[in-house]
């Protein structure tokens, strides 16, 4: 299929349709409103259902209901709207239902502001709702990955019977790039034994939260099952991209739009004979610890590059390396990091004039 020029948010929305998603429920908020706008006409065109809900809480609740009937369902938001969805996400995780949630991250706490940022990392990766649950988190770094990872997310949600999150950002959502869209596929909502299809046979089905007990009321058995489920996800679903890590003296770690700037920094550093490398996490949960398992002896420090004010990604970087390598932080808040500033920070590490965080 030939490549076409697509906006990030719209490519994500079209990929969801092509993955067989037929229900969208959500509320507009910048910088993700194009997802809503696109699906407002595209869903009816393919026989699906589009609902602009009265609130973000209503949106995630409708997705809960749709998922319980076996349909592929999607909701999207940003910042404060994503916060409002957290209780519903934790309920869906407890009920073990598949769905896809999109957070096109914006800057700041509370209401924040509409420009791009990466301050939702903890909320996305550590579980923003209550209780013991995790969600598989993909971090696209291009419009192509916005489409590809969304397309994949529906399959993974059904594989693990769990919500899957696409953590995009305002820059990726708003930029336009050439994209090869995936093929259309059909989805049969009646193929799942757990899905509610109506009481046609006299047998009543009910999908509720599990409340940490299995069907026999055994809390220990259910907790063991839950740990095994997330352990399997952590082992099998790690994804990352490595760029010139083999001989690196300083290693950058960044995701999303920050990772694109890091790639340019690696390219320019190598031209200046600075041995710089990059690990780009594609999954934020599970964090790609395998990528850090055998770092070269040449590594003198790791620089976590993220668009947040206080630093969040760096904690998982330090855990992945077990603090065996000094970890430094480069924080650009709500601004896309500048290549030259990253390179200056790298030089400070090599000169041993930058203070390590871990």
Query: What pLDDT digit, counting tens, does each position of 143-187 carry?
Result: 999 999 999 999 999 999 999 999 999 999 999 999 999 999 999
Residue range(s) in the chain whose domain bears CATH number 3.40.50.920: 240-351
Q: How far apart are CA 277 and CA 39, in angstroms?
A: 39
The answer to whether the beta carbons of residues 31 and 175 sit under 8 Å apart is: no
pTM of structure: 0.96
pLDDT at position 202, please? 62
pLDDT per position as a tens digit, 67-100 = 999 999 999 999 999 999 999 999 999 999 999 9
Q: How far apart are CA 350 and CA 276, in angstroms?
A: 11
The answer to whether the beta carbons of residues 195 and 28 sit under 8 Å apart is: no
Phi, psi angle pair for 168, to nearest 5°: -95, -170
Q: How far apart are CA 223 and CA 214, in angstroms?
A: 9
pLDDT at position 248, please? 98
- For 339, the 3-state DSSP assignment is helix
What tokens does 93 get? 């995780």
Q: Bigger pLDDT: 198 or 179?
A: 179
pLDDT at position 200, please? 66
pLDDT at position 2, please? 87
The answer to whether the beta carbons of residues 48 and 21 sit under 8 Å apart is: yes
pLDDT at position 201, please? 67
The answer to whether the beta carbons of residues 305 and 337 sit under 8 Å apart is: yes
Q: How far apart are CA 61 and CA 49, in angstroms?
A: 15
- For 276, the 3-state DSSP assignment is strand
Residue range(s) in the chain whose domain bears CATH number 3.40.50.970: 4-198+222-236
- For 254, the 3-state DSSP assignment is coil
What tokens does 296 get? 């070269």
pLDDT at position 214, please? 66
Query: Stretch 308-321: mean pLDDT, rounded?
Result: 96
Assign 216 a pLDDT band (cuts: 50, 70, 90).
confident
Going by C-alpha positions, the residue among 229, 239, 235 that lies closest to residue 132 is: 229
Q: According to the 3-state scheme, what is the secondary structure of 72-85?
A: CEEEEECHHHHHHC
Query: Stretch 298-317: mean pLDDT, rounded?
Result: 97
What tokens does 216 get? 């026999």
What percentage of residues in the chain have a pLDDT greater than 90? 85
Can you say how many angstroms the Cα of residue 52 is from the centroid of all Cα atoms in its chain? 23
pLDDT at position 197, please? 81
312: pLDDT strictly greater than 90: yes
Q: Mean pLDDT over all residues of the chain?
A: 94
The answer to whether the beta carbons of residues 31 and 120 sit under 8 Å apart is: no
pLDDT per position as a tens digit, 225-279 = 999 999 999 999 999 999 999 999 999 999 999 999 999 999 999 999 999 999 9
Assign 194 a pLDDT band (cuts: 50, 70, 90).
confident
The answer to whether the beta carbons of residues 271 and 301 sit under 8 Å apart is: no
CATH assignment, 240-351: 3.40.50.920
195: pLDDT strictly greater than 70: yes
CATH superfamily of 4-198+222-236: Thiamin diphosphate (ThDP)-binding fold, Pyr/PP domains (3.40.50.970)
């Amino acid at each position: 299929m030939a490549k076409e020029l697509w906006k990030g948010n719209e490519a994500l929305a079209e990929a969801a349709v092509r993955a067989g998603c037929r229900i969208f429920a959500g509320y507009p908020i910048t910088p993700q409103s194009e997802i809503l706008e696109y699906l407002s006409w595209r869903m009816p065109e393919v026989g699906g259902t589009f609902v602009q809900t009265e609130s973000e809480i209503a949106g995630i609740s409708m997705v809960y209901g749709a998922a319980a009937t076996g349909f592929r369902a999607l909701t999207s938001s940003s910042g404060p709207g994503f916060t409002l969805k957290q209780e519903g996400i934790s309920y869906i995780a407890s009920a073990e239902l598949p769905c896809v949630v999109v957070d096109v991250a914006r800057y700041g706490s509370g209401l924040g502001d509409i420009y791009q940022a990466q301050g939702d990392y903890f909320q996305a990766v550590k579980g923003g709702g209550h209780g013991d649950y995790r969600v598989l988190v993909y971090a696209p770094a291009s419009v192509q990955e916005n489409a590809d990872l969304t397309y994949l997310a529906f399959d993974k949600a059904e594989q693990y019977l769990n919500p899957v999150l696409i953590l995009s950002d305002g820059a990726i959502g708003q930029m336009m790039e050439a994209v090869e869209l995936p093929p259309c596929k059909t989805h049969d909502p009646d193929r799942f034994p757990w899905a509610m299809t109506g009481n046609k046979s006299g047998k009543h089905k009910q999908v509720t939260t599990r409340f940490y007990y299995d069907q026999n009321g055994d809390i220990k058995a259910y907790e063991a099952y839950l740990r095994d489920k997330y352990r399997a996800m952590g082992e099998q679903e790690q994804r990352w991209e490595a760029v010139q890590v083999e001989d690196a003296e300083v290693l950058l770690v960044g995701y999303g739009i920050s990772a694109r700037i890091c790639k340019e920094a690696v390219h320019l550093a190598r031209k200046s004979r600075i041995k710089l490398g990059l690990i780009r996490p594609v999954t934020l949960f599970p964090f790609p610890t395998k990528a850090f398992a055998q770092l070269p002896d040449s590594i003198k420090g790791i620089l976590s590059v993220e668009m947040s004010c206080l630093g969040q990604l760096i904690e998982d970087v330090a855990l992945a390396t077990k603090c065996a390598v000094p970890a430094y932080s480069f924080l650009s808040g709500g601004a896309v990091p500048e290549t030259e500033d990253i390179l200056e920070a790298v030089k400070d590490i090599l000169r041993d004039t930058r203070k390590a965080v871990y």
